[in-house]
Amino acid sequence: MIDLIYLAVFLPLLGFLINGIFGTKIKNEKVIGLIGSGAIGISFLIVVGAFFETLSLPADQRTNFVNLFTWMKVGTLDVSFAYQVDQLSLIMALVVTGVGFIIHVYSIGYMHGDKAFWRFFAYLNLFIFAMMNLIMADNFVLMFLGWEGVGLCSYLLIGFWYDKDFEKSTTSAAGLKAFVVNRIGDVGFLLAMFLIYLFFDSLKFSEVFSRAVSFDVPEHIFMLITLLLFVGATGKSAQIPLFVWLPDAMAGPTPVSALIHAATMVTAGVYMVARTSVLYAMAPTTMMIVAVIGVFTAFFAATIGLVQNDIKKVLAYSTISQLGYMFLAMGAGAFSAGIFHLMTHAFFKALLFLGAGSVIHAMHEQQNIQHYGGLKKYLPITYGTFLVAAMAISGIPPFSGFFSKDEILWFSYTNLGFVFWLIGVITAIMTAFYMFRLYFLTFDGKPRFDEKQTHPHESPKLMTVPLIVLAVLSAIGGFIGIPEIFSGAHGNVFHSWLSPIFKSANLKLSYFGAHSHFEEYLLMAISVAGALGGISAAAYIYLKRPSIAANTVERFKSIYTTLWNKYYIDEVYDATVINPIVNSSRSFLWKIFDNKIIDGLVNGLAKSISIVSSLIRKMQTGIVQSYALVMMIGILLAFFWIILSL
């Protein structure tokens, strides 16, 4: 099955081609949905097969390469469509195709009746194709191809309902914002790639990483490379300072938010850092920066999440916050803990989004949680599964989020220090609070909508079954990574599976300092207690005493409005970056530089070329003798050259 992995990559492309080219002709939604999700389903089975085959191999032979074809080859630059099947890429592929398949199935129900049903599935398949290239690639260029591909699909899908209004502008503008912000990150990635080729003479992961250890390259180069890569990661994974696009990306259909902007694409930055962990290990300063940015983003996004009223916005900020946790793990050198959180997050955040989609569906596109309430009797399955996901993200044992989040907190305590842990725990408390604020306002309490006009009803089976599957995964997904203190002799299965990937990075990063089991139990207890506290606070405020919420808003008006307006980050960017650029473009670049200088140059050049061209054309008289004469003149000159050169 390992040798067939390219099928898992290219089947989604086939699905894209079929639906993209013949979509308008097929018309039948069932056929289109079957092709779209079938392609992903088969991919998933192949990845599962490859996973078990890899599992059956000895631990030191679990990295395999599947070379499909040579793409470009010039001198030492050899870029192939080659896939690296190893522990890390397989975990990612399982998540992408698995969660992807579930979301595809859900979408058949969710997108029912949409006028561009075929286009939606074509884009989704294209996205999976690009994402698979990103994660399976064995070199930076192919990874970059996937990286750009997912960016393109993200853009296309955010603006899927291009004729719909979104907030103050259109969904297309939201898509554009995501695309442009991502471009900034991409420049970082590209520059990093140039530097890597310059210093290591290769763009193949395996070669670069072995050379990174053996070549004598100064540390500041590693720092530069990793920082540039991290700029790429902040763009794709919505970290400070490039996180502003993700909340706007919620303009897309909800399954898109679940698949691309929660479970898979936004984690590409985390994956990339994990993939290049060796390089990061050589640059401790970057590691610290990654950790700081990560923990700060986690905290910062969580505070904004506290006050948002749009169900999808809350989830979007929660995604940014959870991604921050993952980068915190990367910065702490706990790469496998970060990947573990990536996986569990994919389960519960996809579930939250799909649940939100189900609610939005039932409430006729109403997204404001202040207009929900008491939905649990109308939407029993959505309610149940949403609760599981909320517990998981809040870190309540034994749900999956507990294991992964706690591990990150533990490593940030041991490897980075108390402050990181403290901010992490405060963020966790806030997470529990806003998630349950969302939950209580939506499902509990009394309905705050007109029950006579709106009759919410549970979604069809095509949508609820995926919810249940994801709920099961969110509930038990954490057990594959039970920390050592619980599992004892078995150790952490997830870690030992991934450990060969991060071996050389971990060798470089040796963290000292003994920590007792007691400390670990204590910290764990504190964070669980904090999460429970957050939940009870939410329950108390939003179920028992709604007045407290209103009073707090009144008393801390300025803080509230700052949070409500997302710290005015968009406005700050507008004032400091965007407006100056737009204005100078308009006044100088467009009206003077472009219109006068460039256009003048181009037009002048084009005109002079035309004149030259019409002059030369006269040579073409149509008379054979004169043609022969021209040839003779050529020969004459050639002879002159050979006589003079000897």
Partner 1 sequence: MTLEIVLFVIFALVCLVSGILMVTRVNPVISALFLVVNFGSLAGLYLTLNAQFIAVAQVIIYAGAIMVFFLFVIMLINPEHEKRFLEYKPQLKIFAVAIAVLVFLQIAYIILFSKPSEGVSREVAASVKAGTIEQIGRELFTKYVLPFEAVGYLLLSAAIGALVLAKKKFK
Partner 2 sequence: MLNNIQEFYNILPLIIIGGLILVSLIIEMYSESSEKILPWLSIIGFLFVGIYSLVEVGRTSIVLQNMLATGGVVNIFWLIFNITAAIVCLLSINYIKKYGAYYGEYYIIIQTSVLGMMLMAGAKDLIVIFLGLEVMSISFYVLAGFNRNRSSANEASLKYFLLGAFATGFLVYGIALIYGKATTTSIDAISLNFSALSGNVLFLTGVLLFLIGFSFKIAAFPFHMWVPDVYQGSPTTVAGLFSTAGKAAGFSALIVTFAALFGGPHGHLFTPYLSAIAVFSMLFGSIVAIMQTDIKRMLAYSSIAHAGYMLIGLASGNIDGVAGIIFYLAAYSFMNLAAFGIVSILEGKEETNLDLDSYAGLGTRSPFIAGLFALIMFALAGIPPFAGFFGKYYVFIAAIKSDLTWLAMVGILSSMISVYFYLRLVVIMYFKSSETEDKVSYTASEIIAVVIAVVFVIILGLAPGSFIDLVTKFL
Q: Which two tokens stand for residue 25?
A: 């002709």
Partner that binds at residue 636, options partner 2, partner 1, none, CB closer than 5 to 8 Å by kind: partner 1
- 168 CB-contact burial (10 Å; exposed 0-12 / middle 13-18 / buried 19+): exposed
With respect to partner 1, which residue has the nearer C-beta, 74 or 642? 642
Applying CB under 8 A, the span of 165-173, 190-198, 242-250, 637-645 interacting with partner 2 comes to 637-645
Find out whether 553 and 560 touch, Cβ atoms under 8 Å. Answer: yes
Name residues contacting partner 1, limited to 602-641 (CB under 8 A): 623, 625-626, 629, 632-633, 635-636, 639-640
**Residue 540 interacting entry, from partner 2, partner 1, none, C-beta within 5 to 8 Å by type:** none
Stretch that binds partner 2, among 341-349, 372-380, 490-498, 611-619 (CB under 8 A): 611-619
CB crowding 109-123: b at 16 or more within 10 Å, else e: bbbeeeeebbbbbbb
Min CB(614)–partner 1 separation in Å: 21
Q: Phi/psi of residue 74, each to 5°? A: -140, 115
Residue 610: name its binding partner from partner 1, partner 2, none (Cβ under 5 to 8 Å by kind): partner 2
| Contact pick of 72, 450, 516, 517 for partner 2 (by CB under 8 A) | 72
Instruction: Please give the Cα distance from 168 to 283 (Å, whole number).
Output: 43
Give the 3-state DSSP-derived string for 42-92, with helices as H, strands as E and coil as C: HHHHHHHHHHHHHHHCCHHHCCEEEEEEEEEEECCEEEEEEEEECHHHHHH
- Please state the closest distance from residue 643 (CB atom) to partner 1, in A: 6
Measured CA to CA, the distance from residue 140 to residue 144 in angstroms comes to 6
Smaller CB distance to partner 1: residue 575 or 635?
635
**Which of partner 1, partner 2, none is residue 510 near (CB under 5 to 8 Å by kind)?**
none
CB of 67 to partner 2, least distance (A): 10
Q: Using CB under 8 A, which residues numbered 79 to 108 contact partner 2? A: 79-81
Taking the least distance from each CB to partner 1, the nearer of 598 and 633 is 633
Identity of the residue, 613 or 645, whose beta carbon is nearer to partner 1 in the bound complex: 645
547 binds, among partner 1, partner 2, none (CB under 5 to 8 A by kind): none
CB of 640 to partner 1, least distance (A): 7
| Residue 264's binding partner out of partner 1, partner 2, none, with CB under 5 to 8 Å set by partner kind | none
Q: Which is nearer to partner 1, 61 or 625 (CB)?
A: 625
Find out whether 234 and 293 touch, Cβ atoms under 8 Å.
yes
Total residues binding partner 2 (CB under 8 A) = 38
Inter-CA distances, 144 with 17, 277, 313, Å: 22, 17, 29
How far apart CA 474 and CA 468 sit, in angstroms, is 10
305 contacts 323 by C-beta, under 8 angstroms: no
Residue 218, classed as helix, strand or coil, is coil
Of 72, 489, 615, 643, the residue at the interface with partner 1 (CB under 8 A) is 643
How are the residues of the chain apportioned to helix, strand and coil, as percentages rounded to the nearest 5? 80, 5, 15
- Size of residue set near partner 1 by CB under 8 A: 12
Rounded CA-CA distance 130/219 in Å is 33
One of 73, 220, 364, 545 touching partner 2 (CB under 8 A): 73
What is the total residue count of the chain? 646
Asked if 177 contacts 245 with a C-beta cutoff of 8 angstroms, the reply is: yes
Nearest Cα residue to 106 out of 250, 241, 231, 257: 257
Selection from 183, 200, 181 nearest residue 144 by Cα: 183
- Please tell me the distance from the alpha carbon of residue 1 to that of residue 54, in angstroms, as a whole number: 9
Taking the least distance from each CB to partner 1, the nearer of 598 and 636 is 636
In angstroms, what is the minimal distance from the CB of 628 to partner 1? 8
Residue 74 binds partner 2 (CB under 8 A): yes
Cα distances (Å, whole numbers) of residue 283 to 16, 149, 203, 552: 41, 29, 19, 45
CB atoms within 10 A of CB 360: 17
Contact 476, 385 (CB under 8 A): no
Minimum CB distance to partner 2 smaller for 559 or for 633: 633
Which two structure tokens, joined as six digits, stand for 601? 């140059």
Select the span of 74-82, 397-405, 469-477, 549-557 touching partner 2 (CB under 8 A).
74-82
Site for partner 1 in 265-324 (CB under 8 A): none
Please pick, from the candidates 56, 61, 75, 554, the single residue that binds partner 2 as defined by CB under 8 A: 75
* Interface pattern 581-610 for partner 2 (x via CB under 8 A): -------------------------x--xx
Cβ distance to partner 2 smaller for residue 73 or 220: 73
* CB-based contacts of 550, cutoff 8 Å, min separation 6: none
Distance CA 95, CA 346 (A): 7
Residue holding tokens 């089947």?
Answer: 11
Instruction: Residue 529: name its binding partner from partner 2, partner 1, none (Cβ under 5 to 8 Å by kind).
Output: none
Choose between 581 and 629: whose C-beta lies nearer to partner 1: 629
- Give the nearest distance from C-beta 627 to partner 1 in angstroms: 11
Radius of gyration of the chain (CA): 28
Q: Which residues bind partner 1 (CB under 8 A)?
A: 623, 625-626, 629, 632-633, 635-636, 639-640, 642-643
Q: Which residues bind partner 2 (CB under 8 A)?
A: 69-75, 78-81, 606, 609-610, 612-614, 616-617, 619-620, 622, 624, 626-628, 630-631, 633-635, 638-639, 641-643, 645-646
